A and B are shown apart, each in its own frame.
Chain A
Amino acid sequence: MNRMDINVQWVFTSMALLGLASGMIGTFALLKKQSLIGDAMAHAALPGICIAFLLYGQKSLLLFLIGAACSGYIATICIQFIVKHTRVKEDAAIGIVLSVFFGLGIVLLTWINQHEGGNQSGIHDFLFGKAASLTGSDVNVLTVTAVTVIIMILIFFKEFKIITFDRAFAQGIGISVSLLNGVLMFLIVSVVVIGLQAVGVVLMSALLITPALAARYWTEKLEWMTLLAGGFGALSGVAGAYISLIAYAPTGPLVIIFATMLFIFSFLFAPKRGLCSKMIRRHIERKKLQSQQLMYKRGEQL
């Protein structure tokens, strides 16, 4: 019973930290219109994880992280290369890199299955995510990475803000835009990679986009948006983990469903940008206009 409790605590802590880090970094990915890059990276991480396993021979979260980060980073370089040097547009470039890298990952996974005696259950968790299978050392790696990412965001906050909103100005005041873009990409890759084990390949991109998109409805200030997105992410992580505990359903999808519900709520009911408040405002304006017209008409009649 006691061990069970510790395990539950691990899951809750790691999901909260993961949600916090991915929400915060997702804010920048969303504002730079790179939401789907997270999806591409999550898929592209698979071959890196497999190669790390082939080289090392057994499961090690730290090495998997390094392998995944390398292949995720190579994938973003490939996307940028295709967009810059061919007539293929960005969406197709993302799709190409995503599917081909993932295909390569599947090939390597089946190869490992054939040749390494089927000892790949650890890799398997990366595909679909399994928060409940996190062990103590996994949680350590996850916590350290998430905290590092959060600290990095706080340190470079001003710089990230400038390169997100006004590249030309950033260049003008002597900020190295390409270097900072690289740092930002690296932080995104790190979060995606630690998230893979908890929520899986497909849903990791949602953990980046959805909390940030929900936060966008509540504020116009980047500082608040980053904080809110982190809060939404952490809340979804904990809520998803809790529901999965009592409903015996997988954690990852529940986290995403909860985050989407937060988004729908914000989309409908946020004070300024929400759909309902917009409709109410439009209704009030129309009423005002009608009464004005009525007054004009009466004035003409008199």
Chain B
Amino acid sequence: MSYTMWILLTASLVGINCGLVGTFLVLRKMSMLSDAISHSVLLGIVGAYMISHHLQGVSMLVGALIVGLLTTFLVQWLHQKGVQNDAAIGVVFTCLFAIGVVLISLFADRVHLDVEHALMGEIAFVPWDVLEVGGKSIGPKAIWLLGFVLAINIFCIVFAYKELKISSFDHEMAVTLGIPVVLIHYVLMGMLSLTTVASFDSVGAILVVAMLIVPSATAYLWTDRLSVMLICSAFIGVLASMIGYTIATVFNVSISGAIAVSTGVIFFISLWIAPKYGLLRKWLKKSPA
């Protein structure tokens, strides 16, 4: 497969993963938790490096998962103890991120990971970092990592579809039906952490946030059905990757940045033309000719 195809495949996998998880975040009004986790995951990666002394997939995933869950746990706990939700998020992730940055700077000469790389990502290098089995290359590592996380995400969503759906739309009803809402919450946060760390290395923290929130919010403008929204936001994620990559190659600018901008453009267009909740339709209704 060619260089371009690998990059497009990586970006699309990020788009699908984030679209699926992001849908639930937007519905549960927890979008800013993705911003928090995408930053605090840095600490997980640094911590995993300090313990295992290499930057291989599995230890990074575990480290990120632990810190991601720790972030949500701390936010939840502070919120229960009377700190307002937005402030709780703001305090927790900035502190964890700051610790991560300090640790990186202390071990800077030995870690191949700098903050800039973490924030912006370098998807252009993905195709060269290949996984080798028995001396034969079987495709970029990032693709395998993202594919693996996608499998987990799809498995969780299919397996707990009804539970996720009810607890996202009607929390009280879910509690009365005896659905383990706390467990569902942490499973979702686990999915979010895995998705973030898998996407993180190739596209950077900011694109993860853009990919998680913007396509899902766009899909939210187009449909009222959860199943349609999931497919729709994954599709918008892929579409934005294609457009963003094209723009990036034409103008020779950052691929992740361009993809983030394309998600924004798609959202902006949908804001006007979406069939049911678009502004054009609302305004036409208001002034019937």
Q: Which residues of A contact B (CB under 8 A)?
A: 30, 33-36, 38-39, 43, 82, 85-89, 91-96, 98-100, 102-111, 114, 127-128, 202-203, 205-206, 209-210, 213, 249-250, 252-254, 256-257, 260, 263, 267, 273, 275
Contacts and interface: CB of A to CB of B under 8 A. Distances in A.
Contacts of B264: 96, 99-100, 103-104
Contact of B102 (A88, A114, A257): A257
Given A87-B220, A109-B257, A127-B116, 15 more contacts: A36-B86, A43-B206, A92-B220, A100-B260, A100-B263, A103-B261, A105-B257, A128-B101, A128-B115, A210-B90, A213-B87, A249-B105, A249-B106, A252-B101, A253-B105
16 contacts: A38-B90, A43-B206, A89-B31, A92-B31, A92-B220, A93-B217, A95-B34, A96-B264, A98-B35, A99-B35, A103-B210, A103-B259, A206-B95, A206-B98, A250-B105, A260-B91
Interface residues of B, number: 60
Interface string B1-36: 000000000000000000000000010011110110
Contacts, number: 192
A94 B277 contact: no
B257 A96 contact: no
A105 B86 CA distance: 25
Contacts of B83: 213, 267
B214 A96 contact: yes
A39 B90 CA distance: 8
A36 B89 contact: yes
Interface stretch (B129-137, B139-147, B177-185, B246-254): B246-254
A137 B2 CA distance: 50
A122 B256 CA distance: 22
A205 B94 contact: yes
A104 B32 CA distance: 19
Interface of B: 26, 29-32, 34-35, 39, 78, 81-84, 86-87, 89-91, 94-95, 97-99, 101-102, 105-106, 115-116, 119-120, 206-207, 209-210, 212-214, 216-217, 220-221, 248, 251-254, 256-261, 263-264, 267, 271, 277, 279, 282
A257 B97 CA distance: 9
Contacts of A39: 35, 90
A111 B251 CA distance: 8
B256 A88 contact: no
A86 B277 contact: yes
Contact of B210 (A87, A88, A100, A206): A100
